[in-house]
Amino acid sequence: MTGVTMEGTDAGGRAEIEVRGLRKSFGDTEVLRGIDLEVARGEVVCVIGPSGSGKSTLLRCVNLLEEPTAGRVFVGGTEVTDPDVDIDAVRRRIGMVFQQFNLFPHLTAEENLVLPQRRVLRRDRAKAVRVARANLERVGLAGKAGAHPAQLSGGQQQRVAIARALAMDPEVMLFDEPTSALDPELVGDVLAVMRGLARDGMTMMVVTHEMSFAREVADRVVFMDAGRVVEEGPARQVVGAPREARTRDFLLRVLDPAAAAPPGPDQDPADGTA
């Protein structure tokens, strides 16, 4: 693999994801305004914040689904933003789960896992099927291998999407609000799978609005607003006793919407700022 390698790393304490001075603009709108962030190997980092704060854009810049305007991103010590990097090789080390499931509707759950292994990893069919079945079992869907997406609930489809990402043997998992499109009663099964991955030591960066998950599972929580990191720290500190007023205001609105004061006449209801 070509590309710049991050300095000052070692096998025991390397930052699996490192973001330095990341900026991203869409036209005249600056969505990310100088983000610095690290995710250590085996760490779970949850990114929270209001809609439009740049959370999903940050995640998409990590595997170059969005091209940063400025700054540098490293994954596993390799610079993703280096013009000479083999981005396909880097992406093979990253699993990503989106809000929408993006399953092939004409394929069974098992075949949705087999196809990318065959095409990207060039696995023979027998091995791809074994890996597919093992990962469907891992997410609690061994009995649904032959079902098509339309025969599955939203939560089951999302678990198939997670199993598909795991079947590619990623070193890092990125989750972009994986439960936001689900009915409330289906959220728990997906979060249970993610808790299991955290227990297994998977490096995870999770954009989420599930505050209980962030508090209980994350090693660190990053609160973003208006394209900047406002506060970051241990999960229980940021979610339970935030230092910054903006973080406290956001959490009040999320955790106890009825108690939050309505925005003033010159404020945006989405973020409470003028």
Query: Which ranges of the chain have pLDDT less than 50?
Result: 1-12, 269-274
* Residue 198 maps to a domain: yes
* Residue 106 maps to a domain: yes
- The count of domains in the chain is 1
pLDDT in tens, 46-55: 999 999 999 9
Provide the domain limits for residue 119.
44-255
* Residue 147 maps to a domain: yes
* Residue 56 maps to a domain: yes
Helix axis angle for 154-166 and 125-138, nearest 10°, is 130
pLDDT in tens, 4-58: 444 434 334 579 999 999 999 999 999 999 999 999 999 999 999 999 999 999 9
| The pLDDT of residue 166 | 97
List 23's β-bridge partners, or say none. Answer: 33, 70
Strands across the sheet with 44-48, in order?
A: 94-97, 172-176, 203-207, 44-48, 220-225, 228-234
- 3-state SS, one letter per residue, for 200-253: CCCEEEEECCCHHHHHHHCCEEEEEECCEEEEEEEHHHHHHCCCCHHHHHHHHH
* Residue 27 maps to a domain: no
Helix axis angle for 154-166 and 184-199, nearest 10°, is 20
The domain that holds 126 is classified in CATH as: 3.40.50.300
pLDDT in tens, 154-176: 999 999 999 999 999 999 999 99
Other C-beta atoms closer than 10 Å to the C-beta of 259 total 8
Question: CA–CA separation, 131 vs 123, rounded Å?
Answer: 10
* Residue 30 maps to a domain: no
User: What tokens were used for 154?
Assistant: 């939203």
* Residue 118 maps to a domain: yes
* Residue 169 maps to a domain: yes
pTM for the structure as a whole: 0.87
